[in-house]
């Protein structure tokens, strides 16, 4: 097994990975920016190294500073977590060149799946179902022509990245031209390329994604699906496994075919195949994330598989047959709520001091966080301050547990989206399992009343 | 002529001012874009008017409820 692994991330991701490494008897090296120097998880790592200023470009995106830590500590592995450099193929190649294993798929996969239209073309070739979309758009005329082929409404998406950033809908030509400019500027700023493309905008689809697990010996399996339909600003808020109110064979069929596609392609680590499920048209491939996913915990809770440890073992070269049991089944139901530091109605960020921060605990309740009471939520990073993950015997039991857990979660000093989550958990459509990506707007409408 | 003060609805940083002093704006127009926690939040005016003055510049930190621009209405 690895001797020593650098954890090139922060917050809940760093805390989770450090805990997994500790559990495997692997030495963990934490890194931190000036803004995170008193983060509670640093003490749990075998060692911790400062890598620069608070702004991500100076620290968590600072490849040179992180590579210096790799060399200084003689680490033989680096776990990138999610976000930051997790899907940066240049960084992965530099880590490997420093004789340190990048814990994730080979750099070629980060590159192949990182460019969204190329990834769609490739997956389509292998038979993955998907809706109509355009190639990268050269100019407004090309966009107008593509929109008329696809049919309104359309969604403008950045080709260089995902995570729900920079996606804008357009319902007619005039709106399309106006939104394109904005979308290009956001794409340029977030992903370093102004390339955008169009996809057909599905009305009220469900976001269903598949947890894939692969090794370096040509084996690919899946750990079933997650439903992540409750989103605000195209970012997930509530995730669950299994997906409610959907025939098992429909889900398992797609999971099996995704595994067979990735086997043919030669994919070699964990990853997530994201789709939009449209009641009439079935599954539509969205993108593939070549990394650990924020919501991996719900899959862990219903399958009993430690996904981080699986990823580390696979990266070390162990075959899946030695890592996973022969049969993996789903037992019970798990739901995760992402607690964000933000206004619960407007979703505006709300950084500030955590005067009180007391996460809930108890049977079937798990809280992944990188914060502790007395800490500060700074404006430099994303607003997620904790993931509250519950496991119940069935979905209703899980919903009840999550309501109680969030009731118990004491946070003072900043605004959080807990009132929004609680309202969602009482929303009739949510409770019945009739979830869709527009549900958050319906919930906000009831909160405003 | 009446004046209307535009306030920031969140704590963050001024990323881009997309209008200039003297510009005529209408209800719902974006006058500047703030950023915080990896999000860009446009500041929109809720009345028609002319921009008289900006009280912040690009790159400045702003807090929730801080006055950031003055409109002549």
Residue of B nearest to A381 (CA): B37
| pLDDT value, residue A299 | 98
Rg (CA), chain B: 11
B contacts of A379 (beta carbons < 8 Å): 11-13, 36-37
Residues of A noted as catalytic: 291
Correct CATH for A4-103 of 1.10.3720.10, 3.40.1350.10, 3.40.50.20, 3.40.50.300 = 3.40.50.20
CATH of domain A206-448: 3.30.470.20
A contacts of B64 (beta carbons < 8 Å): 350
- CB-based contact, B11 to chain A, within 8 Å: yes
CB contact under 8 A, B36 and A186: no
Answer for the pair A119, A288: CB distance below 8 angstroms, yes or no: yes
Beta strands across the sheet bearing A154-158: A168-170, A154-158, A196-200
CATH of domain A130-200: 3.30.1490.20
- Percentage of chain B lying above the pLDDT 70 cut: 100
- CB-based contact, A179 to chain B, within 8 Å: no
CA distances from A164 to A208, A293, B55 (A): 15, 14, 32
What predicted TM-score, i.e. pTM, was given to this entire model? 0.92
List all residues 6 or more positions away from A411 whose beta carbon is below 8 Å from its beta carbon: A339, A354, A356, A357, A358, A385, A418
Which of the pair, A161 or A104, is modelled with greater confidence? Answer: A104
The residue extents of the domains of chain B are 3-72
Answer for the pair A390, A409: CB distance below 8 angstroms, yes or no: no
A89-97 vs A107-114: helix crossing angle, rounded to 10: 170
Q: CA–CA separation, A33 vs B38, rounded Å? A: 16
- Percentage of chain A lying above the pLDDT 70 cut: 100
Residue of A nearest to B30 (CA): A182
| pLDDT value, residue A105 | 97
Average pLDDT over residues A355-360: 98
- Percentage of chain A lying above the pLDDT 90 cut: 91
Answer for the pair A152, A177: CB distance below 8 angstroms, yes or no: no
> To the nearest whole number, what is the mean pLDDT of chain A?
95
- Rounded to an integer, what is the distance from CA A11 to the centroid of its chain? 14
Q: CA–CA separation, B31 vs B46, rounded Å? A: 11
pLDDT, tens digit, for every residue of A25-57?
999 999 999 999 999 999 999 999 999 999 999
Q: CA–CA separation, A377 vs A398, rounded Å? A: 28
pLDDT, tens digit, for every residue of B21-55?
999 999 988 999 998 887 788 899 999 999 999 99
Answer for the pair A404, A30: CB distance below 8 angstroms, yes or no: no
CA distances from A29 to A24, A32, A115, A370 (A): 14, 10, 31, 16
For domain B3-72, the question of CATH label 3.40.50.2300 is answered with: no
| pLDDT value, residue A187 | 87
CB contact under 8 A, A351 and B37: yes
CB contact under 8 A, A349 and B41: yes
- The residue among A8, A1, A3, A13 whose CA lies nearest residue A308 is A13
Choose, out of A349, A383, A413, A417, the residue to mutate when testing the contact with B (most B CBs < 10 Å).
A349
Answer for the pair A119, A160: CB distance below 8 angstroms, yes or no: no
B72: pLDDT strictly greater than 90: yes
| pLDDT value, residue B1 | 76
How far does the CA of residue B19 sit from the closest CA of chain A (Å)?
15
Residue of A nearest to B11 (CA): A350
- The residue among A125, A176, A145 whose CA lies nearest residue A135 is A145
Q: CA–CA separation, A146 vs A167, rounded Å? A: 17
pLDDT, tens digit, for every residue of A79-119?
999 999 999 999 999 999 999 999 999 999 999 999 999 99
- End-to-end alpha carbon distance in chain A: 56
Angle at A312 between CA A308 and CA A316, to 5 degrees: 165
- CB-based contact, B65 to chain A, within 8 Å: no
Residues in chain A: 449
pLDDT bracket for residue A424 (50, 70, 90): very high
A182: pLDDT strictly greater than 90: no
> Biggest alpha carbon distance in chain A?
59
pLDDT bracket for residue A425 (50, 70, 90): very high
CA distances from A249 to A78, A225, A252, A253, A333 (A): 38, 12, 5, 6, 17
Cβ-Cβ pairs closer than 8 A, A with B, add up to 40
B contacts of A382 (beta carbons < 8 Å): 37-38
DSSP string of B30-59? EEEEEEETTEEEEEE-SS-EEEEEESS-TT
CA distances from A92 to A4, A97, A109, A214, A317 (A): 17, 9, 11, 18, 17
């Amino acid at each position: 097994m690895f001797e020593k692994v650098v954890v090139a991330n922060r917050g809940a991701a760093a805390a989770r990975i450090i805990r997994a490494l500790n559990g495997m008897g692997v030495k963990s090296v934490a890194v931190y920016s000036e803004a995170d120097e008193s983060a509670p998880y640093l003490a749990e790592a075998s060692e911790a190294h400062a890598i620069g200023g608070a702004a991500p470009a100076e620290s968590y995106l600072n490849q040179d500073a992180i590579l210096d830590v790799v060399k200084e500590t003689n680490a033989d592995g680096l776990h990138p977590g999610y976000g930051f450099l997790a899907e940066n193929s240049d960084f992965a190649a530099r880590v490997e060149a420093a004789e340190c294993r990048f814990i994730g798929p080979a750099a070629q996969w980060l590159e192949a799946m990182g460019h969204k239209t190329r990834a769609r073309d490739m997956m389509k070739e292998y038979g993955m179902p998907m809706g109509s979309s355009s190639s990268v758009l050269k100019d407004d005329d090309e966009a107008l022509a593509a929109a008329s082929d696809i049919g309104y409404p359309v969604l403008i998406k950045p080709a260089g990245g995902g995570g729900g950033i920079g996606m804008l809908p357009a319902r007619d030509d005039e709106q399309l031209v106006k939104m394109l400019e904005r979308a290009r500027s956001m794409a340029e700023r977030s992903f370093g390329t102004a390339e955008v493309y169009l996809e057909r905008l599905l009305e009220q689809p469900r976001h269903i994604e598949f947890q894939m697990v692969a090794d370096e010996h040509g084996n690919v399996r899946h750990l079933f699906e997650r439903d992540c339909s409750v989103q605000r600003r195209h970012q997930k808020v509530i995730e669950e496994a299994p997906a409610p109110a959907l025939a098992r064979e429909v889900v398992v069929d797609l999971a099996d075919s995704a595994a067979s596609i990735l086997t043919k392609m030669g994919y070699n680590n964990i990853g997530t195949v994201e789709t939009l499920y449209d009641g009439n048209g079935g599954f539509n491939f969205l993108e593939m994330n070549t990394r650990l996913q924020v919501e991996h915990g719900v899959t862990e809770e219903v399958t009993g598989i430690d996904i981080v440890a699986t990823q580390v073992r696979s990266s070390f070269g162990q075959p899946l047959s030695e890592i996973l049991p022969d049969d993996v089944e789903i037992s019970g139901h798990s739901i995760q709520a992402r607690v964000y530091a933000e206004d619960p109605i407007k979703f505006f960020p709300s950084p500030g001091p955590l005067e009180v921060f007391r996460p809930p605990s108890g049977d079937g309740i798990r809280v992944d966080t990188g914060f502790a009471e007395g800490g500060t939520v700074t404006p430099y990073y994303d607003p997620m301050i904790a993931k509250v993950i519950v496991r119940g015997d069935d979905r209703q039991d899980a919903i009840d547990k999550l309501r109680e857990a969030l009731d118990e979660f004491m946070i003072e000093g900043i605004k959080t989206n807990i009132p929004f989550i609680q309202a969602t958990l009482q929303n009739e459509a949510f409770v019945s399992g009739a979830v869709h990506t527009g549900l958050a707007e319906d919930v906000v409408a009831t909160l405003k009343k | 002529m009446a004046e209307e003060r535009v306030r920031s609805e969140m704590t963050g940083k001024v990323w881009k001012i997309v209008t200039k002093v003297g510009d005529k704006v209408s209800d719902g127009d974006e006058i500047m874009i703030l950023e915080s926690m990896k999000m860009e939040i446009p500041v929109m005016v809720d009345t028609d008017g002319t921009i008289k003055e900006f009280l912040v510049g690009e790159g400045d930190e702003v807090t929730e409820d801080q006055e950031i621009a003055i409109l002549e209405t």
